Amino acid sequence: MGVNKVILIGNLGRDPELRYIPSGQPVASFTVATSESYTDRSGARQKRTEWHNIVAWGKLAELCGQYLKKGRQVYVEGRISTRQYEAKDGSGKRSRTEIVAQVIQFLGGRAGAEGAPEEPADIGAAGGGAETTTPVDDEDIPF
């Protein structure tokens, strides 16, 4: 037994892309940037940004598509998942590491963004609502 849990606080790098797989289940994908500052050996301040691929399913995906916008600061809680797929150009297998979101909350960034609440808002799974999805075959994933 192990633990696979990720908690991120960062800003959306792009608006969520909301799609529906052939079964009709919604899936949203977007990126979140997290940044850290540090001092290098010469004493200069440096900033490093890490980009995270986020995927949300079901009702959570629909809420992401409705309320999240580029630049919005969010809290994301989920698990790491790596999947393999065949490249569209036929050049072989590729892999993609993603955070499968289970809880998402709005935070303070970009107050006043269209459709964004002024206070932090939880659009995640209270009581496990985001986990009520059916298993999905990799071939069903539209990206």
Structure tokens given for 100: 């499968």
Could you read off the pLDDT tens digit of each residue along the chain, which spans 143 residues? Answer: 899 999 999 999 999 999 999 999 999 999 999 999 999 999 999 999 999 999 999 999 999 999 999 999 999 999 999 988 888 888 889 899 999 999 999 887 454 444 444 444 556 653 333 333 344 455 555 54
Which structure tokens are listed for 89?
A: 């150009």
Torsion over CA: 126, 131, 121, 114 (sign): negative
